[in-house]
Amino acid sequence: MPQLGIYSEHEVKGAKDLVRELIRVVRACRLYAQDHPALQEMSATLRRRWDEATARGPIALRFTDRKVLLEEEPVHQVPGNMHEVIPSVLYEHGVVGLVLQPGLEADETRRLAVALSSDPGSGADYPSLLWEADLTHVQVLIDLDEADEDPISTPSDFAQQVMKLGDSSDASPDGEYADARLAPTPPPPPCHLPLEAGEESRLDGILGDERYIGTVSHALRVVHAMAAERVSPDEAGQLERILGDLVGAVLASGDLAAATEAAARARSLAGSAAPLEMRAGELTLSLLLAPSNLRTFLRTLDEQGQLDARALGGLLVELGGPSAPTVAAWLLETKFPAAVQDAMRVYREAAAQALAPLYASGGAGRERAGGALLELGTDDALSALAAGFREMPEETRLRLIHHAGRSRDAALRRVLLDALDDPTEAVRRAAIGAVKRQDAPRLAPFAKDILERGVLETRYRAEIEDFFEMLSRAGDASVARLLADHCLPRGFRLGFLRLSPVQQLCARALRRMRAPDARRVVDELRGRAPRAVREILDDPLGG
């Protein structure tokens, strides 16, 4: 998705729709009573627009006397000589911006509209009205000159303000941080901005509170964007320390979407040619991939009511193969094994390497590791399962046969042949069907062992017929010779001796074989076989 600074085109469009709807609601609030259906319908639409615009985190709207800006992108402009509350009147009263948080509530929508719909001619103090409205999801940015404080002019100043983010009961953050990030020019002098003990304690509280995850995630976006600025080594070091706190907060929150967004952005930054951007990306990835950090995050996901495999897979794609061992270890303890097994397919070979030792070591996690290897479906993953084929549950053996029947890997084809003598009929018949679909060299020794042990006589007629049909389709000259030997009555002397059911099936399988070398075996047998065998070999209808 195209990016405009730290905001995407989608977010800019959402901000335009949101501001337009907010202005409509403010106008309507002056015309209708609060319980009027038209006003209630517009308020509901405003909340939908709000949710759409803040879906990826808070957005910061900045006001001039005629425009509403998202970063530097205009999202609303007052036409002609009109004098709207948003943004003109607010700007005149010292309100230079609003930070909008996700999750606007119905009653809060009403309080916001009432505050903004106050008559400017009555001497309304808009900053006070907005403050008194107790807006949990709106932060008010006040003009710095009126606040009698120094403006933010460097990334370090903004980094300090990130440390001071709070809720609506706190003083509003000072300054226009979009301008601070873009304002420009020569590199600032080195400076040190140590936090006082009280500030550090407050920061810990904010970063550890799930209510602030939207703010923290957005702050992480801003710090990543600031990595493109020209900053001093001291400032770069401060940004890195802030970055570590923010990444830790995102992981501790268990917010899968925020972690995925951070990982994707970090991977992009890590490929930058700019040293600080590359360093910011690499540092973020290293923090996300650190086994202790990632393990804590994954265990936090287990505390949730559900886990979407597709969403988890999106994070694993961004983290890449280095995270596979940590995720594999989590698989053995998670309460969402199916979702994790499904998501791990994005790792491919890296997942097989991480899961194979866990499967081979046995124990309680063997079944989960085996299920994940089956989900992968690669030759390496399935080969890791082959050694323990007989110890698998029946369902797992059936799934492995299904995969092996579509593979050309020699070890997996050996699994099919072993399964022809499985104790479970369903597994044997699945293996027969799989062998039919592919050539099976060295099939003759397995078939010979089964025929000589006489185990076919103990099986159902349909399975026996399937077995011989398999031999006729997948067999070569060695199989043809085996069938020729077993269709002859032992020590026969008279040509009218009756054949056993298995001998009859051997002869019929020979008749169906079409390979030239197999046909030569049939022609040779016809010259020395008793009449009962020849009748079957010569019967075009299969009698």
Last residue of a domain, one of 101, 125, 148: 148
Q: Which of 140, 60, 137, 61 shows the shortest CA–CA distance to 106?
A: 137
Structure tokens at 39: 């006003």
Please tell me the predicted confidence (pLDDT) of residue 336.
92
Looking at the predicted structure, is the pLDDT value of residue 25 above 80? yes
- Distance of CA 146 to CAs 164, 207, 322, Å? 20, 30, 51
Give yes or no: residues 126 and 174 share one domain: no
Residues 6+ apart with CB under 8 A from 413: 404, 407, 438, 440
Reported as a pLDDT band with limits 50, 70 and 90, residue 207 is low
Looking at the predicted structure, is the pLDDT value of residue 368 above 60? yes
Q: Which domain holds residue 167?
A: 151-289
Residue 365 in domain? no
3-state secondary structure of 408: coil
Give yes or no: residues 138 and 218 share one domain: no
Structure tokens at 157: 């100043």
Give yes or no: residues 119 and 247 share one domain: no
Angle between helix 155-162 and 213-226 (nearest 10): 170
Please tell me the predicted confidence (pLDDT) of residue 2.
39
Structural domain count of the chain: 3
Give yes or no: residues 112 and 185 share one domain: no
Q: What percent of the chain has pLDDT over 90?
A: 6
Give yes or no: residues 126 and 172 share one domain: no
Q: Which of 292, 168, 295, 155 shows the shortest CA–CA distance to 231?
A: 155
Give yes or no: residues 173 and 132 share one domain: no
Reported as a pLDDT band with limits 50, 70 and 90, residue 81 is low
Give yes or no: residues 96 and 117 share one domain: yes
For 108: left if phi > 0, alpha if psi spans -120 to 50, otherwise beta; the answer is: alpha
Please tell me the predicted confidence (pLDDT) of residue 479.
85
Please tell me the predicted confidence (pLDDT) of residue 461.
84
Cα separation, 98 vs 192, in Å, equals: 29
Lowest mean pLDDT among 115-129, 130-144, 207-221, 459-473: 207-221
Residue 417 in domain? no
Looking at the predicted structure, is the pLDDT value of residue 403 above 60? yes
Residue 295 in domain? no
Chain-centre distance of CA 296, in angstroms? Answer: 18
Cα separation, 162 vs 166, in Å, equals: 9
Last residue of a domain, one of 131, 148, 165: 148
Looking at the predicted structure, is the pLDDT value of residue 149 above 50? no
Position with higher pLDDT, 234 vs 543: 234
Lowest mean pLDDT among 116-120, 190-194, 236-240, 381-385: 190-194
Position with higher pLDDT, 11 vs 80: 11
Mean pLDDT within 27-31 = 81
Residue 384 in domain? no
Mean pLDDT within 311-332 = 91
Cα separation, 97 vs 64, in Å, equals: 9
Looking at the predicted structure, is the pLDDT value of residue 190 above 60? no
Mean pLDDT within 413-430 = 81
Give yes or no: residues 38 and 162 share one domain: no
Give yes or no: residues 120 and 31 share one domain: yes
Tell me the range of 156-160, 316-320, 494-498 where mean pLDDT is highest.
316-320
Residue 520 in domain? yes
Residue 22's CB: how many other CB atoms inside 10 A? 25
Last residue of a domain, one of 105, 120, 148: 148
Give yes or no: residues 273 and 196 share one domain: yes
Give yes or no: residues 250 and 263 share one domain: yes
The alpha helices in 72-136, defined as continuous H runs, are 90-92, 106-116, 126-132
Give yes or no: residues 16 and 128 share one domain: yes
Mean pLDDT within 80-108 = 83
Please tell me the predicted confidence (pLDDT) of residue 204.
55
Q: Which of 378, 310, 304, 302 shows the shortest CA–CA distance to 339?
A: 310
Mean pLDDT within 330-342 = 90
pLDDT digits (tens, 9 = 90+) for 450-481: 888 888 878 888 888 888 888 887 767 888 88
Position with higher pLDDT, 486 vs 208: 486
Mean pLDDT within 107-135 = 82
Residue 55 in domain? yes
Residues 6+ apart with CB under 8 A from 542: 508, 511
Please tell me the predicted confidence (pLDDT) of residue 182.
34
Q: What percent of the chain has pLDDT over 70?
A: 78
Reported as a pLDDT band with limits 50, 70 and 90, residue 410 is low
Residue 387 in domain? no
Residue 353 in domain? no
Residue 1's CB: how many other CB atoms inside 10 A? 6
Position with higher pLDDT, 126 vs 231: 126
